[in-house]
Amino acid sequence: MDQNTSLADLRHSCAHLLAAAVKSIWPHAQPTLGPSTAEGFYYDFDFGDEKISDADLTKIEKEMVRIVKSWESFSRREVHADEARKEFANNKYKLELIDEIVSKGEVVTLYQSGSFVDLCRGGHIQNPRETLLHFKLMSVAGAYWRGDEKNTMLTRIYGTAFFTKEELGGYLTMLEEAKKRDHKKLGRDLDLFTFSELVGGGLPLWTPKGTLVRDILDDFVWKLRKEKGYQKVTIPHITKKDLYETSGHWAKFEQELFKIETREGHTFAMKPMNCPHHTQIYAHLPRSYRDLPQRYAETTMVYRDEQSGELAGLSRVRCITQDDAHVFCRKSQIATEASSVWDIVDTFYGAFGFELHIRLSFHDPNNMSAYLGTEALWQEAEQALEGLATQRGATYEVAPGEAAFYGPKIDFMAKDSLGRQWQVATIQLDVNMPERFDLHCTNEAGEKERIVMIHCAIMGSIERFTSVLIEHYAGAFPLWLAPVQVALLPISENHHTYAMHVAEVLQKHGVRIEVDCNARSIGAKIRLQTLQKVPYMGIMGDKEVSADAVSLRSRSGQDMGQMSVDTFVQKLISEIENRT
């Protein structure tokens, strides 16, 4: 068993331990589901009218420590559904799960440790009292049963667990550092974005500084795409439902769509993705094999009706700005076109110092009902992506069940400065949508030839990627990305005219500057700009005026000495152009 699977088993075992402790303290509580997650585990409970808060976590942890001492193993029993119903006669949630298991023709299994019995498919450690020692309960939150807001609101208790005390300690230290880097706090402190109750949750409003950051990132992506032969297209933000019925999105995501009813009785939807629209740009003209590939790019917002409880700053929003692109090509062109996208991804993420890891997200052959198309089409598409990864000499992992519903994908995973892993760019190979929209070209023999479609997002969601960047840099963006690159700080009113002269010189070279002419002390000005994480501060008094220079200071507090304005300009231009 590999380490990742073992860690998942450890955490799922800890979820059982949590449920046992909760039942010991609150016998009336009804446990529901308790899976492991990438960060730890959780368990959802129905406490009835009783309210549980973070203040109760220490009490629960102490009970977990007491109980685990008697847990020698997890014993598995296959039982008849009636026996399971008798075991959980007072738990309506478990009874619903039992009925679901039976309806699928699956075996009902119970796992027992000590006196605690739970309905479970499995995935546990073998010696809990020796291994299940290093855990921490993190928080309490609300969660609807089965994620449906029409169902009962439950109490979710989050926790984490590790094999060693050192691993747990390191993770908790990382979380403390992450709190300091929280993009929601830094976004407010640095005046990058805001939210308004009048506008609504999950709908960020970008300030001038935040919009600058977005535009710089998007311009960088477009520059790389333009070099690879992409062309910009523009589509509307709404569509008739017919488009998404044809693509398959309506059946799959109807509950997540914002719908519009027209005066004439037609149903439209706010677009949750762009690819169906782009198919219609391809299809509006007859295409010869000589016209391919067609490469379309567009940065535009899409809209998804996320539940309020799942919204989280820029990480989970209802309006998502996608730097989206689609390539329509022949099967023989897949490797070249996908490799070209890969080149863009490497260049873009290299500018931020991210080390990328490759995950091939494939379909689950045991659950074909979750996907469009046939098993044969999926295998063909997956072989093409795996062949590309091999051709490029990439080390990769295969993740069955992680594909999009219409096709497999290459997911690029990046670790930030805290060691947290994020899924960033994607390359998705789609053989299903060309089938559904009958997309083809005329080949050399004059016959119709089915084409394929490559979906490629570099940032994916600008909102989410910006949240990752803010936390990666702790708000201290590199010079090329910083909304204000230089703050000019005249010591007194006598130096204002010189400061404005230097500002004019810098602006002529495209440097983004701010001049602080307020009547505050130079120390106060430096503190303010340091808190705003401006990369450079140019301090100017009598000596600097007479020397046509600035005294340079970095946001880290480094005194860089006096530098002529011309030398300073060249330094800035070099750092900006090289993205250092």
Model confidence pLDDT, tens digit, residues 479-514: 999 999 999 999 999 999 999 999 999 999 999 999
Q: What is the pLDDT of residues 122-165, one digit of tens each?
A: 889 989 999 999 999 999 999 899 887 789 999 999 999 999 99
Would you place residue 254 in the very low, low, confident or very high pLDDT band (cuts 50, 70, 90)? Answer: confident
Is residue 334 situated within a structural domain?
Answer: yes
Burial 184-220 (b: 16+ CB within 10 A, else e): bebbeebebbebeeeeeebebebbebbebbbeebbeb
| Distance, CA of 35 to CA of 17 (rounded, Å) | 12
pLDDT in tens, 98-129: 999 999 899 999 999 999 999 999 889 989 99
- Residue 396 in domain: no
Give the pLDDT band (50/70/90) at residue 308: confident
**Structural domains counted in the chain:** 3
- Kindly report the number of other CB atoms within 10 A of residue 278's CB atom: 24
Instruction: Return the structure tokens found at 407.
Output: 């096709």
* 24 plus 162 within the same structural domain: yes
CATH no. for residue 424? 3.30.930.10
Residue 86 pLDDT class (50, 70, 90 cuts) = very high
For residues 109 and 235, membership in a common domain is answered with no
- Residue 195 pLDDT > 70, yes or no? yes
* pLDDT at residue number 126: 87
Q: Yes or no: say if 561 and 552 are a contact pair by the CB < 8 Å rule.
A: yes
By the 10 Å C-beta count (0-12 exposed, 13-18 middle, 19+ buried), 330 is classed as middle
Domain end residue (candidates: 473, 498, 524)? 473
Segment 525-542 shows an average pLDDT of 96
Give catalytic residue positions: 275, 304, 322, 324, 326, 409, 455
Q: Using the predicted structure, report yes or no on whether residue 4 has a pLDDT greater than 80.
A: no
Shared-domain flag, residues 436 and 557: no
Q: Note whether residue 46 is domain-resident.
A: yes
Buried b (16+ CB within 10 A) or exposed e, 80-106: eeeebbebbeebebbbebbeebeeeee
Instruction: Give the span between the Cα atoms of 555 and 247, in whole angstroms.
Output: 51
Give pLDDT, residue 166: 95
43: which strand partners? 157
Do 74 and 214 share a domain, yes or no?
Answer: no
Q: Which two structure tokens, joined as six digits, stand for 86?
A: 């008798």
Q: Are residues 60 and 144 in the same domain?
A: yes
Mean pLDDT of 4-19: 89
Q: Is 543 found in the same domain as 430? A: no
In a domain, 405, yes or no: no
| pTM of the shown model | 0.81
pLDDT at residue 16 is higher than 90:
yes
Same domain, 153 and 116: yes
Taking all residues of the chain, what is their mean pLDDT, rounded to a whole number?
Answer: 93
* pLDDT given for residue 286 in this prediction: 96
145 and 240 part of one domain: no
Contact 154, 31 (CB under 8 A): no
Last residue of a domain, one of 108, 140, 172: 172
Q: What is the CATH number of the domain that holds 535?
A: 3.40.50.800
Please check whether residue 42 lies inside any domain of the structure. Answer: yes
Q: What is the Cα–Cα distance from 452 to 436, expressed in whole angstroms?
A: 11
Residues contacting residue 397 through CB under 8 Å, at least 6 positions apart? 357, 358, 359, 360
pLDDT at 417: 82
Decide if pLDDT at 253 tops 90: no
Asked if residue 445 lies in contact with residue 431, where contact means CB atoms within 8 angstroms, the answer is no
Supply the pLDDT for residue 355: 85
For residues 455-461, average pLDDT = 93
Q: Which residues fall within 8 angstroms of residue 51, CB to CB, at 6 or more apart?
A: none
103 within domain boundaries: yes
Q: How many CB atoms lie within 10 A of CB 307?
A: 16
Preceding peptide of 128 cis, ω within 30°: no
DSSP secondary structure letter of residue 377? H
What span, in angstroms and rounded, lies between the C-alpha atoms of 529 and 482? 13
Mean local confidence (pLDDT), 153-181: 93
Q: Looking at the predicted structure, is the pLDDT value of residue 78 above 70?
A: yes
Q: Residue 200: what residue type?
A: G
pLDDT at 366: 82
Asked if residue 397 is part of any domain, the answer here is no
What's the pLDDT score for residue 5?
54
Residue 3: the pLDDT is 45
* pLDDT recorded at residue 210: 97
Q: Rounded mean pLDDT of 515-532?
A: 95
Residue after which a domain boundary falls, among 116, 148, 172: 172
Instruction: Verify that 326 and 206 share a domain, yes or no.
Output: yes
Beta strands in 416-507 (DSSP E): 421-430, 440-442, 448-450, 452-457, 486-490
> Which residue type sits at 383?
Q
Strands 116-119 and 486-490 turn out to be: unpaired
What pLDDT does 560 receive?
95
Token code pair at residue 72: 């020698």
Q: Which residues contact 536 (CB under 8 A, 6 or more apart)?
A: 479, 485, 486, 487, 552, 553, 554, 555, 572
For residues 112 and 149, is the Cβ–Cβ distance under 8 A?
no
Asked if the model's pLDDT at residue 440 lies above 60, the reply is yes
Q: Is 195 found in the same domain as 73?
A: no
Are 545 and 462 in the same domain? no
Residues 220 and 100 in one domain: no
Interior/surface letters 345-370, b for 16+ CB within 10 angstroms, e for the rest:
beebbeebebebebbbbbbeeeeeee
How much is the average pLDDT of 189-213? 96
pLDDT in tens, 369-421: 878 788 888 888 889 899 999 999 999 999 888 888 778 899 999 988 888 88
Q: Where is average pLDDT lowest: 84-88, 130-134, 247-251, 301-305?
A: 247-251
Residues in the chain: 580
Q: Residue 436: inside a domain, yes or no? A: yes
Q: Tell me the two tokens of residue 18.
A: 């949590």
In the structure, what pLDDT confidence band is assigned to residue 1 with cuts at 50, 70 and 90? very low
Domain span at residue 572 reads 486-577
Does residue 2 surpass a pLDDT of 60?
Answer: no
Average pLDDT value for residue range 464-482: 96
Q: At 46, which CATH number?
A: 3.30.980.10
pLDDT of 381 reads 85
Q: What local confidence, expressed as pLDDT, does residue 221 receive? A: 97
